[in-house]
Every structure is written in C-alpha cells, then in structure tokens.
Amino acid sequence: MSGILVVAEHRQGVLRPVSLELVSAVQDVRGALGDKVTVAVIGAGARAHQQTLSMAGVDELVFIDTPDAEFDPEVTEAALAALAAEIRPSLVVVPHSVDSMGYAASLAIRNGYGFATDVFGVAADGAAVVATRGGYGQKVNVELEFPGASTVLLALRGGTWKPPVDAASPAARDFAFSAPASRSKNVEFISPPATNDVDMTAKEFILSVGRGVGEEDNIERFRELADTVGAALGCSRPVADSGWLPKSRQIGQSGKTAAQCKLYMAMGISGAIQHLAGMKHVETIIAVNTDPNASIFSVAKYGVIGDMFEIADELEKHFA
C-alpha cells in the first residue's frame, strides 16, 4: 500500500474550499499510512485548478479528464476506481458533500474498501486507520476501525480542518481511464429563486427558531421577539420546509450562511451538522434548548437549558 489519495471537489469552474481542508486532514497520518499525498481532480478542465491546489502537503496532482465538466456519479466512481487501482492507496479521503453522497458508498462497496462518512477525526493505530464520527444526533463520538481492509475510504466533514497556507510546487500529471457510458445526464443548474426578503448573509444579529417552535401559529411570537431585540428572524430547515418561514431565512448547508453575523441566538434548534454549517463560525452564539444534551451546546458560547417560550416572555420585558 502506498500513500493517501485526496479527492478535490469543484463545481461550475470553482474549486470547493473543503478540497484543501482535506489536504490538512491527512497530514498527521501520512507517516503511518504511506508518505505520498496525491490530490485528484476529476472533470473536463480539471487542470484549471492546478494553481489553487499547489499547496504545501500535496506531493502530486493528478488530473482526470472526463467528457463533462460537471459531476456525474458513475464517471467519478469509475475514475477513482481506476486511479486507486494504480496507486493502491491505504487511505482515500473525499469531502462529505452532496456530490460524494452520490458515489462514495458505491465506490467503497464495489471495491471492498473500509468505509465511513461524516468523519471529523482521522488517526492511525500502527498502520491501521481509525476514524471518529458522531452518533445519536451527535450526542456521542464513535471511533471506527476497518478490519481487513487494505484501502479505507473516508468522507470527511467540511469546516473541520484549516486549509494549508503555504504554496508549493507538487508534481502534476494527467491520468486517463475509460469512462463508462453514464446512465444519467446533466441538464442544468438552477439557482435558488431571487427574493426581496431580507438578506440573511448580511445580518449581524440573527435570532433563529427551530422545530422547537412547535407550530406555525407560534412563529409570530418569535417574529415579535426578533423585532423587539433588533434581530433578523432566521430558522432551521424543518421550519422552512413546513412553509412557516420563507426558504430565504433558512440557515445552514442548503440555506444561507450567516456570513456577517456577530450574535446568533438559536432557539429550539438541536444543532445538526447541516445547520451548524451556516452559523458555527459566529463569535457569540446563544443556544436555548430544553435538552441538556443538545449538540448545539457544543458550538454555543452561552447555553440556556430551558423552554424557548418562557425565555421569550422574560426576554421581551428587558426590551420593552
């Protein structure tokens, strides 16, 4: 077994930042698992990302040309299977993303790899890979091993490792494989509809409500609270999916990033990783939740174990 394969991800000509985070994620295990770190980029025009990926910690860049510039699960899988058959890596890492949810499990099961998703800790025990992920709604950590697997594929959580800062000049080459005739066809990208609702990415103070709000009729009360304390009202996904607040207010992976936010108050939100993706960077997070084990408390600066309705009533009095 030789080395570590990192799979970069790009979309519409832009390299997704998680790609470089993965380079950092494997640096601690490179001694134990094989020294060479290869980064693969798949898709027509893959070479365009050469400079962005020429960073310290990368030994080799491999560009794999495909018929289409954009993601196709079957072509991606075939490309990686062919490359892995050549370099025989002990560890393959991909971003835990919407794209990888479309091919990683298939690649792993067809090739007999060890496999885990949404991994936020990578270590080596001797020459064996040990991965850490969450369980039971992120209330416990689960340490996994991969007995008997000579290659382990891990889908790594974004926003966990800091990308390398120093540029370098890794070797670069092309890799050819025979692309299968894909059974799916890209049609188009559709941007979320423009709205004239507030722009959550620009708000400095956001008060978000989650499923704990209970029912649609209770939204009004938190709209008032948000107005009273001077916050923009945001929400978690179930609230938007139910149509209680517009999608433009949803914070998280498939919604908005609270990019300018300095104070984020999460009420009745459990802290699923996809929600955190849009707000965990905020400097001051206050979480109100009835469940003392809610994982939101692991990113909050201040925590209140309590009922969001009671807290709302009391809080309002201070701003009357």
Partner 1 sequence: MKILVPVKRIAALEEDFEIRDDGRDVDGDFINWDLNEWDDYSLETAMQIKEAAGGEPEVVVVTVGPDDAEEVLRKCLAKGADRAIRVWDDALEGADQLAIARVLAGVAKTEAPDLILAGVQSSDHSHGCTGIALSALLDMPHAAVVAAMTYSAGDAKVRVQRELEGGMLHAVDVSTPAVLTIQLGINTPRYASLRGIKQAAARPIEELSAADLGADFASASRVRRMYVPEKSRAQMIEGSPAEQAARIAEIIREATGA
Instruction: Indicate whether 95 belongs to the interface with ligand FAD (CB under 6 A).
Output: no
Name the nearest CA neighbour of 208 among 306, 293, 281, 276.
276
Instruction: Indicate whether 289 belongs to the interface with ligand FAD (CB under 6 A).
Output: yes
- Count the alpha carbons within 13 Å of 110 in the hemisphere toward its beta carbon: 13
Least Å distance, CB 172 to partner 1, is 27
In one letter, which amino acid is 191?
S
User: Which pair of structure tokens corresponds to residue 295?
Assistant: 């994982």
Residue 275 binds which entry of ligand FAD, partner 1, none, CB below 5-8 Å type-dependent? ligand FAD
Instruction: Indicate whether 212 belongs to the interface with ligand FAD (CB under 6 A).
Output: yes
- Burial (CB count <10 Å: 0-12, 13-18, 19+), residue 320: exposed
User: Which pair of structure tokens corresponds to residue 245?
Assistant: 């607040």
Instruction: Indicate whether 10 belongs to the interface with partner 1 (CB under 8 A).
Output: no
> Which residue in 73, 219, 255, 312 binds ligand FAD (CB under 6 A)?
255
Decide whether 89 or 210 has the Cβ nearer to ligand FAD.
210
Decide whether 151 or 270 has the Cβ nearer to ligand FAD.
270
Whether 213 and 219 have beta carbons less than 8 Å apart is answered as: yes
Decide whether 114 or 158 has the Cβ nearer to ligand FAD.
158
Least Å distance, CB 197 to ligand FAD, is 16
> Which residue in 51, 184, 195, 274 binds ligand FAD (CB under 6 A)?
274
Decide whether 156 or 272 has the Cβ nearer to ligand FAD.
272
Task: Residue 129: count other Cβ atoms within 10 Å of its Cβ.
Answer: 24
Q: How far apart are CA 232 and CA 261, in angstroms?
A: 10
Contact characters 300-319, partner 1, x per CB under 8 A? xxxxxxxx--xx-xxx-xxx
Q: Is the dihedral of CA 244, 248, 252, 257 positive or negative?
A: negative
User: Which pair of structure tokens corresponds to residue 264?
Assistant: 């984020």
Q: Is the dihedral of CA 239, 241, 246, 248 positive or negative?
A: positive
DSSP codes joined into one string, 18-63: HHHHHHHHTGGGHHHH-S-EEEEEESTTGGGGHHHH-BTT--EEEE
In one letter, which amino acid is 3?
G
Contact characters 208-237, partner 1, x per CB under 8 A? ---------------------xx------x
Decide whether 64 or 75 has the Cβ nearer to partner 1.
75
> Which residue in 258, 273, 276, 279 binds partner 1 (CB under 8 A)?
273
Positions touching ligand FAD (CB under 6 A) are 98, 210-212, 236-238, 250, 252-255, 268-270, 272, 274-275, 288-291, 294, 307-309
